A and B are shown apart, each in its own frame.
Chain A
Amino acid sequence: MNLDRLYRTEYGRLLASLIRYCRDFDLAEDALHSAFEAALVQWRDNGPPDNPPGWLMTTARRRIMDRHRHNRMAETRHEEIAYLAGLDNDEPEVADSLRLIFTCCHPALAVPAQIALTLRTLCGLTTEEIARAFMVPVPTLAQRIVRAKAKIRDAGIPYQVPADRDLAERLDAVLAVIYLVFNEGYAARDGERLVRADLCEEAIRLGRLLVALMPDAREAHGLLALMLLHHSRRDVRTDDHGDLVLLEDQDRGRWDAAMIAEGTARVGAAMGDGAPGPYAIQAAIAALHAGSMRAEDTDWRRIAALYSLLMNALPTPVVALNRAVAVAMADGLERGLALLDDIHLPDYHHLPAARADLLRRLGRAEEAAVAYRDALDKVTHDAERRLLQRRLAEVTASPS
């Protein structure tokens, strides 16, 4: 019996049910940890039980009951005990995990707290692991989690799946948290390793959980597809020196084919019949890239069209930038350049970098150099900085 594996797969949903049982995050966590510790000893001595998750659940609940008896109890606690004693259902309800996700991602909690609480409760990451992943001091992260739990308790954040009329809005918040976790894993903050796999994998796990719990939520499929397609390239995004390898230069044979297959398949579910959401569209774009055997086979026209669709759903300068690049590839570099001129993104290095790139391809080396320098002023990741420096060297070395 591999207790580690059991912990990874069962912790989140067991905790979710225990929280429903006792309405107390801390109590539920303590009880569950005690149960795992007891399992470590007892299963080694007596062998594993027939139903390991059920055993853990029963043990944890018993622990909660014991704690109640030992505490000095206010009137409401008496009512709680009667309630607890009345429950005889041993199996964790599937909906409990959904309750937990929505509670962790409640808008009354600040987004960093939503992220920390989600990773802690649903993924079973320790405070240290989360702090390390987000490059935040451990005591800061610990306080963040303590405060979040206190807010849930003191402000009366309910432990439930939101009412239908709030569901779409609240689901957007959950998706945003999951995607933030993924992006944190995808691009390290201060530019050391460009991809931190653990967080990407946790985000994908959460994405899968959400899709399993809410199979009709098309954007959940969209987000999962998008993450899988991005993650399929994890092995080739950087080279051995930690330098960035662009999409057009990557060894496509080393893309994760299984992830691409799964991601692409989910795009269909995500696009659906009606107007597709932003994650679905971005996933469709990613699928077009992933489906091209060689960079030159990329269907830029379709990608540009999808970016135009995305602009309707998500009219941001960053989307406009990506569309301009796609248009440049599909309809000619000058057309793309003209679109870039209309975009305002003062601190975003990708904008001057994109201009520089198009100018370089057009042979306008001096202008390209100006734009590369502008990009270098704004870039934050070491790997991306080195790439820009290489490009700048190229355009200043060659005679104009």
Chain B
Amino acid sequence: MQYMLLCCIDEALWNGLSEDRREAVMDDYNALVREMVDSGHYRGGGKLQPSHTATTVRESSGEVVFTDGPYAETKEQLGGYHIVECADLDEALGIARRIPPLRVGGTVEVRPLDPSFKA
């Protein structure tokens, strides 16, 4: 089964950390991703640039509208995502709980992909 790991964090909180701290977290993060690649779990993923770089697209009265900023007006914003292939939810949760930003207040959502959808 494939799961998407959506990693969110309060950007103000993240930016408030010392550079050393952020670097240490990211080093561990990169190591974890390498581990997932080596183990064969990894199917892809990416680190997102901060939410202020986002542009949101909507339709309003039949017209397409572009807005500056992310779609959700929340303190916690998406920072990165990964897709992993796992035997079951426990395996996916076992990976998700190791994602380093959790240690500094981040959150990870684990959502199964719909197997009937194939690009």
Cβ of A47 within 8 Å of any chain B Cβ, yes or no, is no
Give A57-92 as 1s and 0s: 1 = Cβ < 8 Å from B's Cβ atoms: 000000000000000000000000000000000000
Does any Cβ of B come within 8 Å of A41's Cβ? Answer: no
Whole-angstrom CA separation of A358 from B4 in the bound complex: 57
Q: Which of A108, A156, A162, A166 has the most CB of B within 10 A?
A: A156
Question: Is there an interface contact between B112 and A158, defined as CB atoms closer than 8 Å?
Answer: no
A163, CB-defined interface residue at 8 Å: yes
Q: Count contacts on A: residues with CB < 8 A to the other chain.
A: 11
C-alpha gap A154/B89 in the complex (Å):
10
Q: Could you say which residues of chain A place their CB within 8 Å of the CB of B87?
A: 158
B-chain residues with CB within 8 Å of residue A158 when the two chains form the complex:
87-90
Across the interface, do A154 and B112 meet the contact criterion of CB distance under 8 Å? yes
Distance from A290 Cβ to chain B, minimum over Cβ atoms (Å): 40
Contacts of B26 in A (CB 8 A): none
Nearest-neighbor residue (CB-CB) of A162 within chain B: B90
- B88 and A157 form a contact (CB under 8 A): yes
A155 to B112, CA, bound (A): 6
Chain B positions 57-99 with a Cβ under 8 Å from a chain A Cβ: 86-90, 92-94
Q: Please give, as numbers and ranges, the residues of chain B lying within 8 Å of A106 by CB-CB distance.
A: 89
> What residues on B are CB-neighbors of A108 within 8 Å?
89, 93
Shortest Cβ distance from A297 into chain B, in angstroms? Answer: 50
Q: Name the prevailing secondary structure of the B interface residues.
A: mixed
Residues from chain A with Cβ under 8 Å of B90 in the complex = 157-158, 160, 162-163, 166
CB distance from B99 to the nearest CB of A (A): 17
* Residues in A neighbouring B112, C-beta threshold 8 A: 154-156
Interface string of B31-46 (1 = CB under 8 A from A): 0000000000000000
* Complex CA–CA separation, A160 to B92 (angstroms): 15
> What is the chain B residue whose CB lies nearest that of A159?
B88
Q: How far is the CA of A395 from the CA of B1 in the complex (A)?
A: 67
- How far, in whole Å, are A253 and B87 apart by their CA atoms in the complex? 56
* Cα-based distance from A158 to B90 in the complex (angstroms): 7
CB-CB < 8 A to A157: which residues of B? 88-90
Question: What's the minimum C-beta distance from B90 to chain A, rounded to whole angstroms?
Answer: 5
Could you tell me the distance in whole angstroms from the C-beta of A373 to the nearest C-beta in chain B? 41
Query: In the complex, A160→B88 CA distance in Å?
Result: 11
Report the minimal beta-carbon distance from A118 to chain B, rounded to whole angstroms: 18
Assembled-state Cα–Cα distance A160/B90 (Å) = 10
Which residues of chain B are near A154, meaning CB under 8 Å?
112
* Bound: A317/B83 CA distance, A: 43
What's the least CB distance linking A105 to chain B, in Å?
13
Within 8 A of B (CB), among A144-178: 154-158, 160, 162-163, 166
Shortest 4 CB-CB contacts between residues of A and residues of B:
A158-B88, A156-B88, A156-B89, A156-B1
B: which residues have CB within 8 A of A?
1, 3, 86-90, 92-94, 112
Known contacts A108-B93, A157-B89, A158-B90; can you find 20 more A-B pairs with CB under 8 A?
A: A106-B89, A108-B89, A154-B112, A155-B89, A155-B112, A156-B1, A156-B3, A156-B86, A156-B89, A156-B92, A157-B88, A157-B90, A158-B87, A158-B88, A158-B89, A160-B90, A162-B90, A163-B90, A166-B90, A166-B94
Please give the residue numbers on chain A whose beta carbons come within 8 Å of chain B beta carbons, in ascending order.
106, 108, 154-158, 160, 162-163, 166
